[in-house]
Amino acid sequence: MILWSEVSLTEQAALLTRPAVSQSEVILDATQQIITRVKENGDQALRELAAQFDQRDSARLQVPVDEIKQSGSLLSAQLKSAIEQAYANILAFHTAQQPTDIKLETTPGVICELKYQAIDAVGIYVPGGSAPLPSSVLMQGVLAQLSGATTVVLATPVKGQTPISPAILYAANLCGIETIIEAGGAGAIAAMAYGTETVPKVYKIFGPGNSFVTMAKQLVSQQVPGLAIDMPAGPSEVLVIADERADAQFIAADLLSQAEHGADSQVILLCNCAKIITQTEQAIEEQLTRLTRADTAKAALANSAFILVDSIEQAFEVSAKYGPEHLILQIDDAARYVALVKNAGSVFVGDYTPESAGDYASGTNHVLPTYGYSQVYSSLNLLDFYRTYTVQTISKTGLKTLSNAILPLAEAEGLDAHARAVSIRLERLNNE
């Protein structure tokens, strides 16, 4: 346990410093090679990569639409309705985010509009790894569905003979996704960025992944003009602020639910009561014994911090410095403190709001800025699937009025053709 006020500023900074994420040259080169292969050889390259990395020979690259449509029948009633319940809540919360155009007459005869256009073609990457992630499909697919994007591509890895989990297919089906590509890693990202015979080219690529996927997203976003990616990805993290009346078992469970994500996950507890911190440490030891992913959780806990603060207010200051992806408030009258929140991705208010509620089903999005990006990046929201543009419509009178601003400014900036485009019109008006 660390007493925040008694450690030096340097130690405080060190406590809030994330484990460095390796961006080795090796990963860079390997990723670039894969991208080049897919750019040049399309489907053939994807098949070679499937054989090379996924133990698949002459792999099929796309899931037949029938398999997607019928996937529900392969699920237990319980899991099926769980996916449907999560879908409904995510749909409701993101439907409330539908944008509306803005129209304003800034000056008589000068009408300015801000309009929203759905991004036409989007790609969603869903990592495979240790377990299928239907929730990742919902958290991105619902938004693509709401935006009305005309092309939605979902790519997810297939290992050997194991087919894509029906839970993933069913979640995609609810989101109306019909293009599911059986490819993973940098190859899948490159395929969506450049397009192949089978994979449609997209304009924006969403989704988390391992260091090759992250590197590939970064590289293609620099190499393909007109391509965007969602946000920089980093290890997952949670910060819990708890007070003297908090339940140590709840705190322990929340910290562990983050720690089990990966060895590079980071968990931080800020508490104003030493007793609760000690109890939490004990509760973690005890709960760890029951977890299948205990080793992962232990590794994550190794680079984590349990900090005793002077006050709850101080805890919020420390949290703002750290900028946690997830912020859990297990404090008395927690709602009253939400106004103090700064630089958090998603906030969980009160003893009965665990992070896993937001990870799956409350309706909020679980794609969140991490690694300190929460001071500047947004949690994934519907507007990430739209772009804005402006429209102006100016009457003859409107242009006359504006010319008093345009002409002196164009002159000051030494751009006479800018002035000329206005004066030539004024001349025409004067001759009318």
Q: Could you give the dihedral angle defined by the CA atoms of residues 74, 76, 78 and 83, in that order, rounded to the nearest 10 degrees?
A: -20
Backbone angles phi, psi at 349, to 5 degrees: -100, 115
In angstroms, the CA 7 to CA 55 distance is: 52
| Of 7 and 341, CB closest to a second copy | 341
Q: Per the annotation, does 236 bind a ligand?
A: yes
Active-site residue among 237, 326, 355, 366? 326
| Of 16 and 61, CB closest to a second copy | 16
Question: Should residue 119 be labelled a site residue for a second copy when binding is judged by CB under 8 A?
Answer: yes
Are 183 and 46 contacting, i.e. CB atoms less than 8 angstroms apart? yes
Name the minimum Å distance from CB 262 to a second copy.
Answer: 11
Q: Please give the C-alpha separations between residue 49 and each of 61, 108, 179, in angstroms, as whole numbers.
A: 11, 61, 20
3-state secondary structure of 393: strand
Q: Please give the C-alpha separations between residue 374 and each of 73, 227, 396, in angstroms, as whole numbers.
A: 40, 23, 46
In angstroms, the CA 324 to CA 374 distance is: 7
Backbone angles phi, psi at 37, to 5 degrees: -60, -45
Q: Out of 42, 209, 262, 372, which residue is the one contacting a second copy (CB under 8 A)?
A: 372
Backbone angles phi, psi at 268, to 5 degrees: -130, 135
Question: Should residue 249 be labelled a site residue for a second copy when binding is judged by CB under 8 A?
Answer: yes
Provide the residue type at 296 as one letter.
T
Q: Out of 22, 417, 431, 432, which residue is the one contacting a second copy (CB under 8 A)?
A: 417
Are 100 and 108 contacting, i.e. CB atoms less than 8 angstroms apart? no
Active-site residue among 260, 325, 355, 366? 325
In angstroms, the first-to-last Cα distance of the chain is 82
Q: Per the annotation, does 222 bind a ligand?
A: no
Which region among 1-9, 54-62, 179-187, 419-427 touches a second copy (by CB under 8 A)?
A: 419-427
Say which residue the tokens 């708890």 belong to.
242
Tokens standing for residue 187? 């190859």
Q: Out of 390, 430, 431, 432, which residue is the one contacting a second copy (CB under 8 A)?
A: 390
Q: Out of 159, 298, 321, 418, which residue is the one contacting a second copy (CB under 8 A)?
A: 418
Which region among 56-64, 186-194, 267-275, 283-291 touches a second copy (by CB under 8 A)?
A: 283-291
Q: Out of 3, 51, 65, 102, which residue is the one contacting a second copy (CB under 8 A)?
A: 102
**Angle, to 10 degrees, between the axis of helix 294-302 and the axis of helix 248-259?**
100
| Of 274 and 376, CB closest to a second copy | 376
Q: Out of 104, 161, 431, 432, which residue is the one contacting a second copy (CB under 8 A)?
A: 104
Name the minimum Å distance from CB 189 to a second copy.
Answer: 16
Q: Per the annotation, does 261 bind a ligand?
A: yes
Active site residue 40: no
Q: Per the annotation, does 326 bind a ligand?
A: yes
Q: Out of 5, 162, 311, 393, which residue is the one contacting a second copy (CB under 8 A)?
A: 393
Active site residue 260: no
Query: What residues between 11 and 70 interact with a second copy by CB under 8 A?
Result: 18
| Of 244 and 310, CB closest to a second copy | 244
Name the minimum Å distance from CB 105 to a second copy.
Answer: 9
Q: Work out whether strand 179-182 and strand 204-206 pair parallel, antiparallel, or are unpaired.
A: unpaired
Instruction: Give the binding-site size for a second copy (rule: CB under 8 A).
Output: 134
Residues 214, 218, 221, CA angle at the centre, nearest 5°? 135
Which region among 60-68, 80-88, 174-182, 273-281 touches a second copy (by CB under 8 A)?
A: 80-88
In angstroms, the CA 114 to CA 137 distance is: 30
Q: Out of 14, 51, 131, 302, which residue is the one contacting a second copy (CB under 8 A)?
A: 131
x-marked contacts with a second copy along 171-210 as a string, rule CB under 8 A: --------------------------------xx------
- Residue 222 CB burial class (10 angstroms; 0-12, 13-18, ≥19): exposed
Q: Cite the active site residues.
A: 325-326
Residues annotated in a binding site for substrate: 236, 258, 261, 326, 359, 413, 418
